[in-house]
Each structure stands twice: as structure tokens, then as C-alpha cells.
Chain A
Amino acid sequence: MKSHFEHLIDLTKGDINRNIFSDPETFELELERIFAKCWLLLGHESMLPKVNDFFTTYMGRDPVIVTRKADGTIGCYLNMCRHRGNRVCRADSGNARAFSCPFHGWTFSNDGRLSNVPGFKEIYLEKLDIEAHGLVPVAKIASYKGLLFATFDNNAPTLEDYLGDMAWYLDMILDRREGGIEFLPGTHKWLVHTNWKFPVDNFIGDSYHGPVSHKSAWVSGFEGMPLRKSGYGYEGFQVNPGGGHGFGTRWAANKEEVFEMSLPEFRDYEKMRLDESIQRLGELRGLHFSPMHASIFPNVSLLWQGGAIRVWHPKGPKLTEAWGWVFVDKAAPDDYKREKGLHMLQRHGTSGTWEADDVDNWVQCHSSSEGYVARRYPQNLEMGLGDEITDPSSIHPDIRGKLGRFQSEINQRGFYRHWAKMMDDATAPSVPDMSRKACS
């Protein structure tokens, strides 16, 4: 007997039931079975350079504060006073040792401890269990080569196990140069009226839409890297390392082809850094793979050479808040970093000449799937079904995971397969225990 969500996804045909994008009950269940269990991206360590730096973000729909504590480690806590639930921090970022609730003055230090309660003696008669009323911490927080993730589930695997072979591929960004990457300061934040899964599955494996969706940007001076060709079927692959993650990449046979795929303004930098990357990562990850787009399950996407990384915060079945950053090699010169920032904001993000055309597609895909009749017809994600590259090692012995042709929907199918598996797992997330000791 098929389970509740697995039957909504028919991977033998590539059929996806449209209900999963609009049903409110499905969304509420996603908050529990996906967002309260998975490792979610907080940002990058470079966003907290100094002790007591903080920024606020979301894990699923839960607001959190991410802090650089006095001991230099990073903490992440629910941005929620343990009295009546007010937000204790209303700033996007800053530097503070403690957060005071503007309601009754409960104060929490930036390691989560409840450090002051006005009237603790006179009014609470010292009965309030201080230790049980600190800010709720995440269950686990970890950094993969600077990229910060956290989860509310004590039973979650380690971050490395969660990322699996996707971590090995992410080294193409995080470890291609000495010192890794940094995020440039500044976050693009904007609201999109669509279900969070649309943008994620667009970035995970859709290299089919570029020539149509983004044509206007390509021909008006806003080309992207790696350079696209017109037409379809050119050399490249969709790589599916499992775990719901995936990415698409062009293939470069040699160094000259890498340089051909770069924009003129970045070519000198590519020539300068390529040998170091090959030496650090080997030929497959350092030379042959020129990755384009990716998503990390559940809601992180990136453009490898565009230098864009974003989180799609789920706000409702029809509402997503997009947050985007620019990332660069730390070792890169300042003028390269500046150029990368400009490159990104003109193509992606709030005024992006590429992003705008994507967003309207997602919004309209969603809004056409809200009717009774429309929802009786599945979405078609069959591209490349049965035409997977059965022996990836014939392409290169080091390839990990499954491989599809450059335009194929193998990664979208992989994403929904993993999504359905998690949605059918009724094991409750094991969130941190904040229960009180008995009143004495």
C-alpha cells in the first residue's frame, strides 16, 4: 500500500500531484516533517566576524537569533521570550551581549541564558525556574567549511552525513582556494507569492528554462557564468548525489574550455586561480566540472559561478521569503569581489534581470494550480526518465552519485522522492527539552 505522500509522486512516470504546492495541511506537515528535522542554512561564519555579533533569520517559520558568543563559538536560539513569546530581538543584525524583551524586561544573554527577570524576588517569589526558561537553543549547530547550518532535531544525523556526497561537491565552492569563501555583507530579502518548492526545484535541476526564460537578459549584456550556448543538449550533466540534493554542471575537457566559459571581466581571475583549484580538488572537481545551479535539501539554492546563494523561507503554502547573498573566494582581490557583487545584483536578487523572469514563472505556476480542475492533472517531470547515464564512472572514475544528461529532470525527481520519503516518516522531531523542574 502506498503511503500518504509517496503516492502523490509517481516517479515511474515523472508525475507530481499539484496539491503538494497549495494544500495548507501539507504545508503545516512540512513545518514538522521537513523543516523541524532537516539541517537548515543559517548563513556563513563570515557574517559574524566579531564576538557578540548577531543576525536574525528563520528556520522554517521559526524566527531565530544567531550569535557569536563570548567564547567565540556560534549559538542559535529561538527569537522568542519564554514568558509570553515576544521577539526579544527586532534587529536584522548588530552587536549585543544580551537581548532584553521590551514587554516585561526579561533579559537573555547571547548564549541563551535567562540572565535577568525584573521582580524575580518580589513578584515571582524566586519560584520561577530560571534554568528552564532560557532561549530555546537549536538541537545541533555545525559549520561545513564555513557554511553554517542548524537543526531543531536531536535525532538528526551529523551535518556531514546529511549532506553526504553533496558536501564533496560543495568543496568546488568552499575549498577551491586557500581560505575558502566569505559572504559579502548585505542580504537581499523579498517576498514571492509561490510555494517554496518551486524555486528549489528550479535551481536543483532546471537547465532547460534558461534559453527561454532568461533570453532577454542574455542578449542585453547580462550574460551569466558559465557561459551558456544557445540550443540544447550540449556537454554537461545533472548530478544527483542523493539526500534530495542536486546540481547541474557544464563539462570542460581542458583549461581552455574553462576560460571560454567565463565572462571577459572574470577571465583573468579564472586563469590565475585555476591551477590552485585543480591542485586542491583534483581534475574532476577542479577542472572538468563547471557547475551552474544547485539546491541543497530542503530550501537552499545556489549559482556556483554567479556567486549567489539563497534560502527560500517558507511563510505559507503560497508565500516564500527569498534571502540572497553573494559569496566570493576570500583570497580574491577587492576589485574582483566588487565586480562579483555587481554581477550578482544585476542578474539575481531584488532587481535581478534574470531573477525577475524566474519569479513570475513560479508565481504563475502556483496560481494556475489552485483550481479544483487544475489540481486533477499532474505536473510533468519526465524529462530524461530512463535515459540516465547508467555508468557515471565511464565519464570520469571519480564521479559520485547518479548522472542525467545536461537538460534532464533527474534532480527534480530526486528532490520530490526525498520530500515524499520525509513526509511519510511520522517520527516526531526530537526538539530540545526545556521542561521545568517541579516548583518547590
Chain B
Amino acid sequence: MDMGLWFRVQAFLTHEARLMDDQHLEEWVALFSDDVRYWMPLVTNRTGRDQGKEISTYGQVAHFDENKTSLSNRVRRLDTGMAWSETPPSRTRHLVTNVEVMELMDEGVVRIRSNFLIYRSHLEYDLEIFGGYREDYLRPQGDSWLICRRDIILDQSVVTQKNLGIFF
């Protein structure tokens, strides 16, 4: 295992998480490539022969299915000062762990996985801990990366909080 690569990936994800938690969202969205696919599928409960179909397929209705434009627009909305459901903004704490370099792909792209626990507190009592994992494709950019694809699997079938108004 290339420890140097693993360390740099870990540092990149840690920095990315801090940008979200400190609400530097314009800097955060700049970490994504112009052709990014940012996707959080639906997760369902399945039994018997239907096990294995819990996660919706790409192209179906999802929680998030964003390109660079819509992701940027989501950030723009928060900057208007009129996004009432995020006024005041949610307090988030993104804990990113279990980082693994899964595959070295063509053109230096690295496929990685990480787990997340996101503590999210909003207003007085709205509190949730979201758990799940992300599979990211990192494309080299200078001495860092751009995220050109992010698949987010949220470990919930019914979302138990009022909205997914934060980023993952």
C-alpha cells in the first residue's frame, strides 16, 4: 500500500470536511470538477429474492443527483440570505473515517472510499447523526485533486430528519 498516497487522500478529505463545517461552501464546491456527478441514491428495505436491490440505480429518482451547475446553485441559494430553512445555518460536524484507496485508474484518477458520521444540529432540537459511506473518484489537479464523481450512500431508508439540507 502506498502510504504516501493514502495520507494525501486522507488529508484532502479532512480539509474538504472542514470547508463544509466552517461553511466555506464556495471553496468546497470548487473542489469538484466541472463534469462532476454528485449522487445520493435512495435506499430501501428488501427481503428474500429482492435482497441486493436496496440501492436505487443511477438515473432513477434519488436524494441528490447533481452536476456542477446544480451543486453550485445549491450553494448560491444558501448565499442569498433567504434560504429560511438554513437561516440560521445547520451546525455540522463531518467525521470522515475508514479511508481506503480502492483503485488506481487511468489518467491518475484514484477511486477511494470513506465512511462518514455527520452530526447535524439545527435550531433548538433538530438533531441527527447521519451515517454512511462515499465512493469518490479523484482526478489529479496540480498537487491536489478535483472530485469528479461522488456516490453517497446514506444508511437510512426513511430519512429521519426534516431535510437533507446539508452537503455530504
Q: A191-B158, A220-B76, A356-B162 are in contact. List 19 more A-B contacts (CB 8 A).
A: A91-B45, A91-B46, A91-B47, A91-B48, A92-B46, A94-B46, A95-B50, A184-B61, A185-B61, A188-B159, A190-B158, A190-B160, A215-B80, A216-B83, A219-B80, A350-B159, A351-B165, A352-B163, A359-B163
The 9 nearest A-B residue pairs measured at CB:
A186-B61, A94-B50, A221-B73, A220-B77, A356-B85, A190-B159, A216-B82, A356-B163, A351-B164
Instruction: For A193, list chain B residues within 8 Å (CB).
Output: 162
Residue of B nearest to A94 (CB): B50
**A interface: dominant SS:** mixed
Residue of A nearest to B78 (CB): A216
Interface pair A189/B159, CB less than 8 Å apart: yes
Please judge, given known A-B contacts A91-B48, A326-B61, whether A187 and B69 are in contact too, CB under 8 Å: no
Q: Is B14 an interface residue (CB 8 A)?
A: no
Instruction: For A187, list chain B residues within 8 Å (CB).
Output: 42, 61
| Contacts of B121-152 to chain A: CB distance below 8 A | none
Bound form: Cα–Cα A341–B63 in Å: 11
Instruction: For B86, list chain A residues within 8 Å (CB).
Output: 356
Instruction: For A359, list chain B residues within 8 Å (CB).
Output: 85, 162-163
Instruction: For B18, list chain A residues within 8 Å (CB).
Output: none
Interface pair A96/B56, CB less than 8 Å apart: no
Interface pair B47/A90, CB less than 8 Å apart: yes
> Which A residues contact B (CB, under 8 angstroms)?
89-96, 184-193, 213, 215-217, 219-222, 321, 325-326, 338, 341-342, 344-346, 349-353, 355-357, 359-361, 363
| Contacts of B20-58 to chain A: CB distance below 8 A | 40, 42, 44-50, 53, 56
Q: Is B74 an interface residue (CB 8 A)?
A: yes
Instruction: For A342, list chain B residues within 8 Å (CB).
Output: 65, 70
Interface pair A191/B60, CB less than 8 Å apart: no
Please judge, given known A-B contacts A326-B61, A345-B64, A357-B84, whether A91 and B163 are in contact too, CB under 8 Å: no
Option from B45, B76, B159, B162 in Cβ contact (under 8 Å) with A92: B45
Please judge, given known A-B contacts A190-B159, A353-B77, whether A90 and B45 are in contact too, CB under 8 Å: yes
User: How many residues belonging to B are interface residues under a CB distance threshold of 8 Å?
Assistant: 42
Bound form: Cα–Cα A74–B160 in Å: 30
> Which B residues contact A (CB, under 8 angstroms)?
40, 42, 44-50, 53, 56, 59-66, 69-70, 73-74, 76-78, 80-86, 157-165
Please judge, given known A-B contacts A93-B44, A96-B48, whether A216 and B80 are in contact too, CB under 8 Å: yes
Instruction: For B76, list chain A residues within 8 Å (CB).
Output: 220-221
Query: What are 24 pairs between A and B in contact, CB < 8 Å?
Result: A90-B45, A94-B47, A95-B50, A184-B61, A185-B61, A189-B157, A191-B158, A191-B159, A220-B74, A326-B61, A341-B65, A345-B61, A345-B63, A349-B63, A350-B159, A351-B63, A351-B64, A351-B164, A352-B163, A356-B163, A359-B162, A360-B84, A361-B84, A363-B162
Distance between A436 CB and nearest chain B CB, rounded to angstroms = 30
Residue of A nearest to B166 (CB): A351
**B44, B56, B70, B84: most-surrounded residue (chain A CB, <10 A):** B84
Instruction: For B65, list chain A residues within 8 Å (CB).
Output: 341-342, 345-346
Residue of B nearest to A192 (CB): B162
**B66, B77, B78: most-surrounded residue (chain A CB, <10 A):** B77
Instruction: For A89, list chain B residues within 8 Å (CB).
Output: 47
Please judge, given known A-B contacts A221-B70, A345-B61, whether A191 and B82 are in contact too, CB under 8 Å: no
Bound form: Cα–Cα A357–B81 in Å: 13
Bound form: Cα–Cα A398–B49 in Å: 51
Instruction: For A346, list chain B residues within 8 Å (CB).
Output: 65-66, 70, 74
Please judge, given known A-B contacts A222-B77, A351-B63, whether A216 and B84 are in contact too, CB under 8 Å: yes
